[in-house]
């Protein structure tokens, strides 16, 4: 099997599993209890929090564990909206956010009278800083712009966004689920007030995430109950998850330079081969400002779903959009936001590499993609018309 869907989830690192194991059946005490094994759980949580805070340049007490990235995104938006309603009801976000942000915004709009500005992106998936600044009003309480996109890999100008937010006294939240562990992030240098992350996207366990909340940001508790997480997120802590997440974050930070250099080389090699060897193929997302492990391409005259099924039969795991949107027939909102026509968006393929991906895996995958695209085009009446010179290729004429 060749696993090229690391934006959907990653393999838990064996070192992470090893670190977690004692916290299931040996040190299983509830961290809120007072006896000795409970103390072990409590210490483990503190260590996990320290490891994560260190990677971000944050204070340990600014890290709040959640059940994943989705919960962290929900918390940031809903609780900031409530805490700052005295100032206003306006939130600025983008059209290419993950559904954890977009659907939360829609919920606040429908039920609580929030006013949401959804910023457009350019053809590479980058927001306009001028449009962002123009959208700010005295009622704006929050800017939520993702660090890096999960489908097309584009990295936003986060530092400049943080500066604009600071200048106007508006909170800045970023969904960094794809970026944390892949890109260096320092919350002070980037003026980030809140940041969401998830364990299973960085070779850690599933069902654990965190929300970084800068000291001084007024934010309500999200889950009510016990006094865990400084009374802001109740519920017995996921001790093994936190231990694994801390180790995964540290490993990611320690190996980042080496891993990303290798991934960028393979990524660009793969993009180069696909673009030069498959006719009517287009790269989606910014060519340079993109995640080290992300390849997203569109092939005209084919259906991405058929391509995925045939890749699966060849032992290759890939994705056509995000895992959350596949299963629906609508093309991805991200691909539409960068201006792709429906028929091009439908023929898209996302391949996301890991540190374990080898050049042979890339070559095997590109060879298979070429073969399958050719086969699928052979069955397409549109492609027949194109071959006969009756219609033009959109990709060849427009891009
Ligand atoms: C995966 C992902 C999420 C959701 O995280 P979960 O931990 O799976 O809930 C949110 N935002 C982005 C950008 C993601 O890639």
Ligand 1 atom at minimum distance from 206 CA:
7
Cα 68 from Cα 207, distance rounded (Å): 5
Ligand 1 atom at minimum distance from 70 CA:
9
Ligand 1 atom at minimum distance from 8 CA:
1
Of 313, 284, 285, 314, the residue nearest 299 (C-alpha): 284
Which pLDDT band holds residue 330 (cuts at 50, 70, 90)? confident
Mean pLDDT of 305-310: 94
Percent of the chain's residues with pLDDT above 70? 98
Close Cβ partners of 333 (under 8 Å, ≥ 6 residues apart)? 95, 96, 102, 325
Close Cβ partners of 309 (under 8 Å, ≥ 6 residues apart)? none
Close Cβ partners of 244 (under 8 Å, ≥ 6 residues apart)? 12, 16, 17, 19, 20, 199, 204, 205, 208
Mean pLDDT of 378-390: 94
How many beta carbons lie within 10 A of that of residue 188, not counting itself? 11
- Tokens 């340049």 locate to 57
CB 316 within 8 A of CB 368: yes
At residue 222, does pLDDT exceed 80?
A: yes
Instruction: Tell me what pLDDT residue 228 has.
Output: 94
Where on the phi/psi map is residue 301: left (φ > 0), alpha (ψ -120 to 50), or beta? left
Which pLDDT band holds residue 399 (cuts at 50, 70, 90)? confident
CB 161 within 8 A of CB 145: yes
Mean pLDDT of 110-124: 98
Which pLDDT band holds residue 220 (cuts at 50, 70, 90)? confident
Catalytic annotation on 317? no
Threshold 0.85, pTM exceeds:
yes
Pick the catalytic residue: 105, 259, 281, 324?
324
198 C-alpha to ligand 1 centroid (Å): 6
CB 355 within 8 A of CB 349: no
Q: Which of 130-139, 281-290, 327-336, 379-388 has the lowest mean pLDDT?
A: 327-336
CB 395 within 8 A of CB 280: yes
133 C-alpha to ligand 1 centroid (Å): 27
Which pLDDT band holds residue 208 (cuts at 50, 70, 90)? very high
Residue 70 Cβ < 6 Å to ligand 1: yes
CB 201 within 8 A of CB 195: no
Instruction: Tell me what pLDDT residue 324 has.
Output: 46
Residue 286 Cβ < 6 Å to ligand 1: no
Q: Measure the CA angle with vertex 284, ends 339 and 397; round to 5°.
A: 65
At residue 320, does pLDDT exceed 90?
A: no
Mutate to test the pocket of ligand 1, among 177, 208, 296, 324 (most ligand atoms within 8 A of CB): 177
DSSP state of 281: E
Mean pLDDT of 229-246: 96
Tokens of 88: 């206003």
Residue 304 Cβ < 6 Å to ligand 1: no
Close Cβ partners of 38 (under 8 Å, ≥ 6 residues apart)? 29, 30, 31, 32
Which pLDDT band holds residue 365 (cuts at 50, 70, 90)? very high
Tokens of 150: 């999960």
Indicate which residue's Cα is closest to atom 14 of ligand 1. 177
At residue 323, does pLDDT exceed 60?
A: no
């Amino acid at each position: 099997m060749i696993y090229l869907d690391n934006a959907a989830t990653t393999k838990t690192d064996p070192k992470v599993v090893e670190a977690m194991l004692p916290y299931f059946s040996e040190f299983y005490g509830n961290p809120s209890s007072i006896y000795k094994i409970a103390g072990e759980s409590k210490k483990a949580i503190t260590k996990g929090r320290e490891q994560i805070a260190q990677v971000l340049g944050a204070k340990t007490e600014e890290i709040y564990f959640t059940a994943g990235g989705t919960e962290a995104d929900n918390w940031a938006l809903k609780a900031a909206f409530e805490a700052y309603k005295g100032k206003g009801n306006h939130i600025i976000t983008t059209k290419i956010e993950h559904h954890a942000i977009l659907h939360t915004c829609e919920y606040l709009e429908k039920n609580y009278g929030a006013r949401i500005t959804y910023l457009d992106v350019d053809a590479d998936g980058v927001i306009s800083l001028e449009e962002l600044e123009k959208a700010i009003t005295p009622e704006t309480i929050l800017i939520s712009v993702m660090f890096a996109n999960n489908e097309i890999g584009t990295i936003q100008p986060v530092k400049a966004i943080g500066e604009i937010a600071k200048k106007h006294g508006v909170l800045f939240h970023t969904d960094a689920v794809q970026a944390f562990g892949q890109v260096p992030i320092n919350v002070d240098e980037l003026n980030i007030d809140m940041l969401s992350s998830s364990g299973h996207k960085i070779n850690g366990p599933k069902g654990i995430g965190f929300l970084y909340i800068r000291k001084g940001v007024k934010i309500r508790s999200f889950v009510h109950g016990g006094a865990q997480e400084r009374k802001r997120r109740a519920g017995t802590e996921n001790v093994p998850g936190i231990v694994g997440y801390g180790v995964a974050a540290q490993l990611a930070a320690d190996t980042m330079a080496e891993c990303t250099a290798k991934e960028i080389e393979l990524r660009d090699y793969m993009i180069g081969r696909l673009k030069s060897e498959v006719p009517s193929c287009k790269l989606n997302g910014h060519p340079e400002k993109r995640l080290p492990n992300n390849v997203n391409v569109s092939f005209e005259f084919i259906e991405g779903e058929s391509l995925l099924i045939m890749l699966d039969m060849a032992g290759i795991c890939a994705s056509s959009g995000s895992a959350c949107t596949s299963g629906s027939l609508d093309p991805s909102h991200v691909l539409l936001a960068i201006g792709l026509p429906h028929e091009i968006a439908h023929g898209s393929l996302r391949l996301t590499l890991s540190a374990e991906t080898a050049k042979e895996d890339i070559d095997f995958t590109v060879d298979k993609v070429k073969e399958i695209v050719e086969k699928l085009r052979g069955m397409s009446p549109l492609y027949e018309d194109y071959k006969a010179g009756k219609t033009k290729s959109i990709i060849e004429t427009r891009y």
